[in-house]
Amino acid sequence: MKKLLFFWNELKATFWFVPTLIILFSILLAIGIIYLDGFVSLSQEGIGRFLFVYSADSARSILSTISGAMIGVAGTVFSVTLVALTLASSQLGPRLIKNFMYIRLNQVVLGSYIATYLYCLIVLNTVKENNGDSFIPSISILLAILAAIVNIILLIVFIHHIAISIQADKVISDISAFISKRIKILFPEKMGDEMDDEKDLPVDAIKAGYHHMITVKSDANGYLQYIDSESLLNMITGLDALLELTCRPGDYLVEDIDIGKLYTNDTLEKEDREKILLPFVVGKTKTAQQDLEFSIHQMVEIAVRALSPGVNDPYTAIACIDNLTSAMCYLVRARFPSKYRVDDKNQLRVIADTLDFEGVLDAAFNQIRQFSAGSPAVIIRLMEVLTIIHEFAVKKSHKKALVRHAQMTLQVGRDSIKEKNDLKDLKRRAGIIVGK
| Residues 335-377: tens digit of each pLDDT | 887 788 888 888 888 888 888 889 999 999 999 999 998 899 9
Which residues pair with residue 135 across a beta bridge? 128
The closest alpha carbon to 83, from 166, 172, 171, 13, belongs to: 166
Check residue 191 and give its pLDDT.
39
Does the structure show a pLDDT above 70 at 182?
yes
CA angle 361, 364, 365 (to 5 degrees): 85
Exposure string for 161-178, b = 16+ CB within 10 A, e = fewer? bbeebbebeebbebbbeb
Q: What gap in Å lies between CA 270 and CA 399, rounded to an integer?
A: 47
Q: Which residue has the higher pLDDT, 387 or 164?
A: 387
Q: What gap in Å lies between CA 415 and CA 168, rounded to an integer?
A: 30
Check residue 1 and give its pLDDT.
55
Q: Percentage of residues in the chain with pLDDT exceeding 70?
A: 92
DSSP 337-389: PPSEEE-TTS-EEEE-----HHHHHHHHHHHHHHH-TT-HHHHHHHHHHHHHH
- 3-class SS of residue 215: strand
Check residue 210 and give its pLDDT.
86
pLDDT in tens, 125-154: 988 877 667 788 888 899 999 999 999 999
Predicted confidence band of residue 319 (pLDDT cuts 50, 70, 90): very high
Does the structure show a pLDDT above 80 at 291?
yes
Q: Which residue has the higher pLDDT, 84 or 406?
A: 406
Type and span of the H or E element at 193:
strand 193-194
Predicted confidence band of residue 196 (pLDDT cuts 50, 70, 90): very low
Q: What gap in Å lies between CA 349 and CA 334, rounded to an integer?
A: 24
Does the structure show a pLDDT above 80 at 43?
no
Q: What gap in Å lies between CA 297 and CA 309, rounded to an integer?
A: 20
DSSP 288-344: SSS-HHHHHHHHHHHHHHHTSTTT--HHHHHHHHHHHHHHHHHHTTS-PPPSEEE-T
- 3-class SS of residue 19: helix
Distances (CA, A) of 334 to 295, 316, 331: 18, 28, 5
Type and span of the H or E element at 252:
strand 252-253
C-beta atoms surrounding 79 within 10 Å: 10
The closest alpha carbon to 243, from 252, 253, 233, 257, belongs to: 233
Q: How many residues comprise the chain? A: 436
Which residues pair with residue 46 across a beta bridge? none
Give the start-to-end residue ranges of the domains of the chain. Answer: 2-166, 182-188+291-336+356-434, 193-283
Distances (CA, A) of 43 to 46, 51, 54, 139, 243: 8, 11, 10, 12, 75
- Give the CB-side neighbour count of residue 350, counting CA atoms within 13 A: 32
Average pLDDT over residues 66-81: 88
Distances (CA, A) of 25 to 4, 18, 119, 271, 346: 24, 11, 10, 43, 50
User: What's the CATH architecture for 193-283?
Assistant: Alpha-Beta Complex (3.90)
The closest alpha carbon to 365, from 387, 342, 393, 335, belongs to: 387
C-beta atoms surrounding 91 within 10 Å: 17
User: 137 near 121, Cβ under 8 Å?
Assistant: no
Q: At what angle do helices 376-392 and 420-434 cross, to 10 degrees?
A: 10
